[in-house]
Amino acid sequence: MATVVGAAVLVSSFGLYQWQRYQEELTQAERSLRSTASLLAEHTARTFEVAKAVLRVVVNLHDEAAEQGYDRHTVHGFLKTVHGGSPVFKAIGWVDATGNRTASSLFADPPPLNVADQEQFRVHRDGTAAADQVYVPAPVFSNLLNAKILSVSMRLNDRGRGFGGIAGGVVDPDYFTGVFRGVETRPSDVMTLFRRDGMILARQPTDDALLGTSLAGRRFMTEIVASAPTGAFHAWGLSDGAERIIGYATVPGSGFIVTVASTYRELFAEFWRSFAFASGHLGLALFALVAGAWSLIRQTRRRDQLAADLRRSEARFRDLAESSSDWFWETDDQNRFIWLSASVEQASGVSPEWHYGKSRIDFSDQPQSVPGAWDNHLRCIEERRPFQDFEYLRRGPNDDRWIRTSGVPVFDETGRYRGYRGSGRDVTELRRAEERLRDAVESIPGGFLMFNPDGRLAYVNANSAKYVPEMAAMDRIGDTFEEILRRTLAERLIHDAHDDPEAWLAWRLERHRAANGSTLVHYEKRVVEVVEHPTREGGVIVLRFDVTERERAQEATLAAREAADNANRAKSEFLASMSHELRTPLNAVIGFGQLLQMPRGNALSQSQQEYCRHIVSSGQHLLALVDDVLDLAGIEAGQLKLSTERMAVADTLSGAVESIGAVAAKAGIAVELSLETTVSDVRADSQRLRQVLLNLLSNAIKYNRPGGSVSVSAREIEGTRVRILVADTGRGIPEDRASEIFTPFQRLGAEFTTIEGTGIGLSVCKLLVEAMDGRIGFESEPGRGSTFWIDLPVETAAALPEAAASAGSGTTINAPLANAGGYSLLYVEDNPLNLRLVEYLVETLPDVTMHSAASGQVGLELARAHRPDVIVLDLNLPEMNGFEILEQLRMHPDTKDIPVLALTASVMPNEVNDGLAAGFFRYLGKPINFDQFLAAIDAALRTRPVKPPEGGYQAAS
Ligand code: ADP
C-alpha cells in the first residue's frame, strides 16, 4: 500500500515538476521569440528608413531633372550613382503620371514598361497613400529577376500640377535575407514580414508562393494587430503544418509586423531530452521503489520467520543450557556476573543469583591455583581475548569446588566491549580422580612416563628419578622419545647400545612405536624393564622398573637349573647303567633259580628246593628294590610318562584283588571287595594305577594282624571324583609319625621288624596318584587299623569303542599255539648265561626250535639263512647293537616281516619308548619275566602264516 502511495506521489510530483518546468520553458521560449521579433523589427525599420532616404533622393533628382531639363543619360548617370551607394536596392527609377517608366538606374534608355494598373501606382495617384510616405505594395513577379520582388515607392509631384508619377525601388532580396540573418535564430525558424492588413511582404526562408498572399482575417492576425507592439502566440505552420510558437513585433515607423516562428520540437528538444532523462530516473526510482517495497515485504516475512526460528532456537538453547551438566554465563563490562543458566545450581551447588554482581576473582582462591594461571587469565580478559579451560577453585557458601570455564568477549554493533559470555563446568570430581590417579602414578615403584599423541613427553613421575637415576636428567617434558633416547645414547648410558647405537636406537624406537610389551634395557649398573602401553588417544605410557635383582636371581636360577639338569642327566645315566648292571646278574640268579624249581627229571632234595626258593625270593626282593628305587628316582627326575585312559573302577579293583589273592591267602588275610554299582569310570594310567593299588593292598596285608582282613571299596564324591579305599585291621599308624609316611625310605619303625619293605612304596604311590591328577591320604586308629584312600578324576570324555580300548593289553598267556607244526626262533645274545636261560625257556615250548648267535653279524646271517618265525635281540651287543640289527633285518626282503623282540636290561622309561618307536614287536626287560616272555613269543608266532607240514604239499601233488 505504502508502495502504491509512494509511487503515486512520486509520479505526480514528478509530473507537476515537469509541468512547471515546461511552463517555464514555454514562457522562456515566448520571451525569447518576442525579443527576437523586436530585434528583427528594429532592423527592418532601419532598412525602411534607408529605403525612404534613398527614395527621397530619387524624388529630389526627379524634381531637379525636370527643372534643369536633364537628358536621359544624365538622369541614368545620377540614378546609377544613387543606386550604387545603396545596398538595399536592386534597382531604382521612376514612372510618369501615366504609369510609363521613364528613368531607371539599370538602363539609360529603359525598355517600355507601364505600371498604371499596379497597386502602388494607383495608391499614389489616387492619393490613398501619404505624399511623403513610402508605400510597399504586395510583391509581384518580376520577369527580369524571375522571382517575386518587393518594391517600395514614393509619390512624385509635377511642379504644382499635382501627381507626377512615382519613384520606386526594387528591394534586393539578398539584402533582406541579410537583415533577417542578422538576428540569431534556430535552423527551423521562419521569419515573416507582414503589412498590417495581413499581406506577406517578405519571408525567410523565401517562398514565392506565400509572398503577396494575405493572412487577413486570420484570428492571430487580428490579435496581433490589436495587441501591444510585441507578443507571442501558438500556431501551426503555414507551409509545413508543424506546431510553432511565434513571437511578433511591430516595425517602428512603418507599422509593419515581423514574426519569428520556432517549432516546438526545436524549442523543447532540450526539455524533452532532460524530461526523458528524468523520466528514466523516475522509472529507475519507481523500479527501486517497487523493488525496495518487494524486498521490504520479503524482509518482513523473513524477519517473522527469523523471529520464529530465533524463538525456537532460544528454546532449544535454553533446554540445552538447563539440561546440561555444564552451565552458561554472562558478565558485564566490569566482569561481574549478570546471568547464569539455572543448571549451575544442579551442577555445582550454588544458585545463579549467588554469583550476580561478583566477578570470578571475588570468589576464587587464587593461591590454590596453578601458579601463573590467574595472571594469564586476567591478562586475557584485560586484552579482551577469548580464554579456554581456565580452572580455579571457587569458594562457595557451602564448600569449595573446582570450576573449569571458557569464554569469549562480547562487543556490541558499535564495537563497544560489553563483557564476556561462556560456559562453566564443575571439575572437582575430575580433579580428585586425577589427584588419585596422580597419587597412584607417583606411588609406582618405578618410572611412569606419559607421551602425548604428538609423541612428546607430557608427564614423568618423581619415582622415575629415584629408581632409574640415569634417566633423571634425560627425561625432559616436551621432548620426543627419540630426543630423549639420543641424549641417553650420547651420554653412553645404555650398555646394550655400545656396539651399534644407531641400530639399537632403530630397534628401540620400533618397540616404542609398537608399544605392546616389555623391553629389557641394560644400563651400565642396572637392568631396567620397560613396559610400553598405548593410550586410547594415541599416546604411549612408558613404565620403567629396576629389575637388576630379579635378573640376577633369574640368572642364578638359570645357572642352578642348568647345574641341576646336568646333575639329573648324570643321575639318570647312572641309574640306567646301575639298573642294567644290577639286572643282568639278577636275571641269571632269579632265572636259574626258577628253572631249578621247575619240575624236571632230576628233582632236587627238600632242602635244596628250600634254598632255591630263598634264592628266587631274595632275588625278587632285590629286583623289587631296584625297581622301586629306579621308579622313584625316575619319577623324581621327571621321567614319568603317563598314558591316561578311561578305566572302569570295578574291573581295575577286581583285577588287583585277584592278583594279590595268593599273597593274601598265604598271609591268612581275607580280602573283600565291595563295590557300588554306580561308580563312574575314572581317567588314569592303567599300569600305574594297578601299581598303586597293589602297593596299598600289599601294605594292608603286610601290616595286618594275623587273621585280619582287608576291605576294598570305591564310591563317588562330589560327582567329579571317585574315591578308592583300602581298609585293613592292622596295627595302624602312630599319630606322631603320620607325617612321614609318604617320605621315601621312612618305614616308621617297620625296619626293626621282619616285615619286608623299603619305605619307598607309598612315596611312589603319592607321586603317581598326583601325576594322574589324583590325591592320596589315609586315616588310622593305632591298634585297630588304617584306611588308605586315593581320589581319581571322573572320566568326562565319551567312552571309546571296545576294540580300541582293549588294544595293546595282554600280559597273560593265551590259548596254546594254534599251529603246532615246527616254528623256529633266533636269539641273538652275547651273554652265555642269558642264552642258556632262554634256551631252557624255549625248551618248554614243544614246537619251537631255537637258533642262537653271539653277535649281530652272525645273527643276521642266520636270519637270512633260516628265516626264523621270531627273533629275540639283546640290545647291548658288541660291534652292532640291537637297533642296528633291527634296521638291517628290516632292509632285507627275506627278513623284513619277521617280528623282532627286544630282551634287555635297559628298562629306563625313555629306553623302553625308544625301543618301541624303533619298531620292536615287544620290548621285554631283564630279569626275564617268564610269563611275559612266553606271552610275547606266543603273540609273535600268531602273526606268522601257517607252515605246511614237513614235505607236505610237494608229495601230495
Ligand atoms: P614299606 O612297606 O616298603 O616299608 P611303604 O612306603 O609302603 O614302605 O610304607 C611306609 C611305611 O608306612 C611302612 O614301613 C609302614 O611302617 C607304614 N605303613 C604302610 N602301610 C601301612 C598299613 N596299612 N598299616 C600300618 N602301617 C603301614
Residue with cell 652265555: 832
Inform me whether the pLDDT recorded for 652 exceeds 70.
yes
Between the CA of 50 and the centroid of ligand 1 the distance, in Å, is 187
> 376-385 long-range contacts, Cβ below 8 Å, gap at least 24?
381/335, 381/409, 381/420, 384/409, 384/417, 385/409
pLDDT (tens digit per residue) in 575-616: 778 777 888 888 888 888 887 877 665 677 888 888 888 888
Ramachandran assignment for 906, one of left (phi > 0), alpha (psi -120 to 50 degrees), beta (any other): beta
Q: Relative to the CA of 764, which ligand 1 atom is closest?
A: 6
**Residue 946 above 70 pLDDT?**
no
Reference 903, options 617, 615, 623, 587; nearest CA is 587
C-alpha cell at 708: 585280619
Angle at 811 between CA 809 and CA 816, to 5 degrees: 115
Does residue 205 have a cis peptide bond before it, meaning omega lies within 30 degrees of 0? yes
Test site for ligand 1: of 698, 699, 733, 789, most ligand atoms within 8 A of the Cβ: 699
Which tens digit of pLDDT belongs to each residue from 751-806?
888 888 888 889 999 999 999 999 999 999 998 999 999 999 998 866 544 433 33
For 745, the grid coordinates are 625310605
Average pLDDT, stretch 544-571? 87
In this prediction, residue 228 has a pLDDT band, given cuts at 50, 70 and 90, of: low
Query: In the numeric block, which cell numbers belong to residue 720?
Result: 567329579
Q: What per-residue confidence (pLDDT) applies to 821? A: 56
What distance in angstroms lies between residue 654's CA and the mean position of ligand 1's atoms?
Answer: 22
Closest residue by CA, ligand 1 atom 8: 759
Q: Which residue puts its alpha carbon closest to atom 20 of ligand 1?
A: 699
Q: What is the pLDDT of residues 334-352, one digit of tens each?
A: 999 999 988 898 888 899 9
Q: What's phi and psi for 851, nearest 5 deg?
A: -110, 155
Q: For residue 478, how far is the Cα from the chain centroid? A: 27
With CA atoms as reference, report the closest residue to 95 among 142, 47, 145, 58.
58
Give the model confidence (pLDDT) of 405-455 as tens digits: 999 999 988 989 999 999 999 999 988 888 888 898 889 999 999 999 999
User: What is the predicted pLDDT for the residue at 222?
Assistant: 77
Cell of 429: 570430581
Give the H or E element holding residue 435.
helix 428-443
Could you check whether the bond before residue 599 is cis, i.e. omega within 30 degrees of 0?
Answer: no
Nearest CA to ligand 1 atom 2: 757
- Check residue 710 and give its pLDDT: 96
Q: Is 62 helix (H, G, I), strand (E, B) or coil?
A: helix
> What's the CA gap between 635 and 614, in Å, rounded?
31
| HSE-CB for 440 with a 13 A CA cutoff | 6
pLDDT on residue 337: 93
Q: Which residues fall within 8 angstroms of residue 873, CB to CB, at 6 or more apart?
A: 828, 859, 882, 885, 886, 900, 901, 902, 903, 920
Among 693, 762, 763, 787, name the best residue to mutate to test ligand 1's pocket (greatest count of ligand atoms within 8 A of Cβ): 762
User: Across all residues in the chain, what is the average pLDDT?
Assistant: 85
Q: What mean pLDDT comes out for the span 4-30?
A: 84
- Ligand 1 centroid–CA 740 distance in Å is 10
According to DSSP, the residues that pair with 94 across neighbouring strands are 103, 167
Going from the C-alpha of 229 to that of each of 47, 106, 180, 254, 482, the distances in angstroms are 19, 38, 19, 12, 116
Could you give the CA distance from residue 377 to residue 392 in angstroms, rounded to a whole number?
10
Looking at per-residue pLDDT, the higher value among 561 and 678 belongs to 561
Pocket test for ligand 1, best of 625, 695, 697, 741 (most atoms within 8 A of CB): 741
Nearest CA residue ID for atom 19, ligand 1:
699
Cell of 657: 584283588
In this predicted model, what pLDDT tens digit does every residue of 55-79 receive, in sequence order?
888 888 888 888 888 888 888 988 8
Q: Look at strands 147-157 and 140-142 and give their pairing.
A: antiparallel
Instruction: Number of helices (H) and strands (E) in the chain: give both, helices first.
Output: 26, 32
- Provide residues with CB under 6 Å of ligand 1: 699-700, 703, 728, 730-733, 741, 747-748, 750, 757-763, 786
Expressed in angstroms, the distance from the first to the final Cα of the chain is: 142
* Whether 851 contacts 827, CB under 8 Å: yes
Q: What is the mean pLDDT of residues 908-931?
A: 85
User: Which amino acid residue places its CA nearest to atom 23 of ligand 1?
Assistant: 700
Cα(759) to ligand 1 centroid in Å equals 7
Ligand 1 centroid to residue 182 C-alpha, Å: 171
What is the CA angle 704-705-706, rounded to 5? 120
Ligand 1 atom, smallest distance to 785 CA: 24
Q: How many CA atoms lie within 13 A of 472 on its CB side?
A: 8
